Structures are given as structure tokens and as C-alpha cells.
């Protein structure tokens, strides 16, 4: 999906503003139609089958759609196998998510999202083009409670200089670096990095704070941006991208000159 950004332009000419809004809405409408049209009849058949399984609470059938392990938002533990998924099913698919999915069909709220597959709404659920369940980004109240307990534990597994944070966001690896991003509170993000061979209990080589979350369009792509002493460090998270796009990138600028670009693997998210 190609992200679209709205730039609000103040103008005293009301007619020009109406034209601008009409044009934007038209682009959104045409883009939505294109994303829907790129789903084949077979894709829609798989989507509708998945919806039916969710409606029926068919945990075993949904489990068959998953290649385990099945990741959960860090630091919630990954679901290792089918038996564990069935046991933890209600943590992942609570009544609210089941209700949202059950009200849709393949012609509404499901979109082709590039190489990552088929996206439900704004990325709450992802299927691949063969109907496999690849990701559930929605988080239930039960998982929020579990996450709180693990965050308390996680604070003890990092260097003392990093132990204060509201929630962990990402742990990533590039060819040269181990990187950790935490939300300190109220969307104030912190970046810490080590050599790739280090452990998070080691003192970080660099710590940056006052980072900003920057959304990029409607497909879920986003970045975390940090600045210090004329340098800009950006972690790009690529939910939707080209076929050969990595899950993430580390990009560093000195002034306006790019001095580093390294693809990154998301170890935990």
C-alpha cells in the first residue's frame, strides 16, 4: 500500500479548500478500489473461510493456518505451537476482535498489502496470499495485563542505565548493531545501541532520548526519529513494502547527508 499524507493548507478561499478535499477523497477512494481489486477470487475465498472460522470459534482450524512460532508484541511470550495457541486463543482473539472480524467479508476491510499479504483494517490482522495467519497486531485486555508483568521483568534484563521505561517497543539487529527502542512515557522514545555481538546487559555504546514516532501512510509503516549533535538516527519499520523490502532499516544522516543505511531484522516487537 502506498501511504497518503494530508497537508492542511490554510486558505481564505473556501472553494479551493473544497476542491483540495474532494481531490484527496477521490484519491483515497480510487486507491481503496485498487487494493480491493488486487485480491483474487481465491484470496477472497480464503478470507471468507477465515472469517467463518473466527465466527465459529474454531480454534483448531485457525491454528492450522499458522506457521509456528507465532509472535506476540514484545515482551509477551511467543506462542510456540498449536497446543499453546489453542490454550492462549482467548488472549489473542477476544470478544471485541472476534466481533470486528465477524462483521466483515472479503469485499470490505480486507486489502492487499504488498509482499506481506492481506491486511484487515489498519493491520490488526494479516493473512498471507495462501490464507495463512501471519500476524495479529491487535492486543486484548488480557494481553495488556500479561505485558505489564513481563515489562517489570524486562527492566531487570538490561543495563542499569536503561532500566527506566514505560514499555519496550522494538529490539532489532543490523549487520553491525544491536538496537533497542523503548517508550519512556507519553511517546518519548529512547534509542540504545551496541555492537551486534554485545548483550543488552552491557553498557550501551550510544543512548538517544526525545525520539519521535512518525507515521507513514495508512498501511502501518512508521519510523522512530532521534536527533543529536547534527546527526539524525531513524529506525524505519516497514509493515508494507516492496517484495524485497527488509522488515526495518537503520538510517543515519549527518546534516543533510546520509552516512549509513543498514537493513534490520526485528528480533522482538
Parse the chain into domains and list their residue ranges: 1-37, 41-142, 158-268
Task: List pLDDT tens digits, range 240-252.
Answer: 777 788 999 999 9
Better-scored residue on pLDDT, 32 or 83: 83
Mean pLDDT for 46-69 is 97
Predicted confidence (pLDDT) at residue 203 exceeds the cutoff of 90: yes
DSSP-derived secondary structure letter, 74:
T
Mean pLDDT for 133-143 is 95
**Residue 35, pLDDT score:** 53
The C-alpha atoms of residue 254 and residue 214 are separated, in whole angstroms, by 19
Task: List pLDDT tens digits, range 18-29.
Answer: 334 333 333 334
Taking domain 158-268, whether its CATH number is 3.40.50 is answered by no
**Percent of the chain clearing pLDDT 70 (strictly above):** 85
Predicted confidence (pLDDT) at residue 200 exceeds the cutoff of 80: yes
Predicted confidence (pLDDT) at residue 5 exceeds the cutoff of 70: no
Report which of 268, 260, 257, 265 is spatially closest to residue 234, judged by C-alpha positions: 260
Mean pLDDT for 135-157 is 93
Mapped onto helix, strand or coil, the DSSP state of residue 27 is: helix
Beta carbons within 8 Å of 248's beta carbon, 6+ residues apart: 170, 172, 235, 236, 237, 238, 263, 264, 265, 266
Mean pLDDT for 66-94 is 94
**Residue 240, pLDDT score:** 78
- Tell me the H-state helices in the chain: 14-37, 41-56, 59-63, 82-92, 95-102, 141-154
Mean pLDDT for 79-97 is 97
Q: Cβ(68)–Cβ(79) under 8 Å? A: yes
Hey, which CATH number is domain 41-142, 3.30.460, 3.40.50, 3.30.70, 3.10.450? 3.10.450
Mean pLDDT for 168-182 is 96
**Residue 29, pLDDT score:** 40
Question: pTM surpassing 0.75?
Answer: no
Predicted confidence (pLDDT) at residue 193 exceeds the cutoff of 90: yes
**Residue 11, pLDDT score:** 31
Q: Per-residue confidence at 212, pLDDT binned at 50, 70, 90? A: very high
Better-scored residue on pLDDT, 6 or 170: 170
Amino acid at each position: 500500500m502506498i501511504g497518503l499524507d494530508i497537508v492542511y493548507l490554510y486558505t481564505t478561499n473556501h472553494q479551493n479548500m473544497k476542491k483540495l478535499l474532494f481531490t484527496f477523497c477521490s484519491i483515497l477512494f480510487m486507491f481503496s478500489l485498487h487494493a480491493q481489486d488486487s485480491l483474487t477470487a481465491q484470496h477472497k475465498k480464503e478470507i471468507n473461510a477465515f472469517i467463518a472460522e473466527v465466527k465459529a470459534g474454531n480454534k483448531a482450524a485457525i491454528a492450522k493456518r499458522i506457521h509456528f512460532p507465532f509472535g506476540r508484541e514484545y515482551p509477551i511470550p511467543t506462542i510456540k505451537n498449536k497446543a499453546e495457541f489453542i490454550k492462549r486463543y482467548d488472549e489473542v482473539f477476544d470478544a471485541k476482535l472476534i466481533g470486528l472480524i465477524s462483521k466483515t467479508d472479503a469485499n470490505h476491510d480486507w486489502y492487499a498489502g504488498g509482499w506481506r499479504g492481506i491486511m484487515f483494517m489498519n493491520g490488526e490482522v494479516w493473512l498471507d496470499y495462501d490464507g495463512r495467519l501471519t500476524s495479529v497486531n491487535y492486543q486484548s485486555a488480557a494481553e495488556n495485563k500479561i505485558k505489564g508483568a513481563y515489562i517489570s521483568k524486562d527492566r531487570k534484563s538490561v543495563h542499569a542505565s536503561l532500566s527506566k521505561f514505560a514499555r519496550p517497543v522494538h529490539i532489532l539487529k543490523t549487520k553491525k548493531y544491536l538496537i533497542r527502542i523503548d517508550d519512556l512515557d507519553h511517546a518519548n522514545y529512547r534509542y540504545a545501541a551496541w555492537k551486534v555481538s554485545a548483550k543488552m546487559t552491557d553498557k550501551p555504546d550510544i543512548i538517544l532520548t526525545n525520539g519521535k514516532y512518525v507515521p507513514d501512510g495508512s498501511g502501518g509503516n512508521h519510523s522512530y526519529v532521534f536527533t543529536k549533535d547534527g546527526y539524525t538516527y531513524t529506525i524505519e519499520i516497514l509493515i508494507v513494502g516492496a517484495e524485497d523490502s527488509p522488515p526495518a532499516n537503520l538510517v543515519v544522516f549527518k546534516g543533510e547527508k546520509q552516512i549509513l543505511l543498514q537493513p534490520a531484522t526485528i528480533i522482538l516487537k
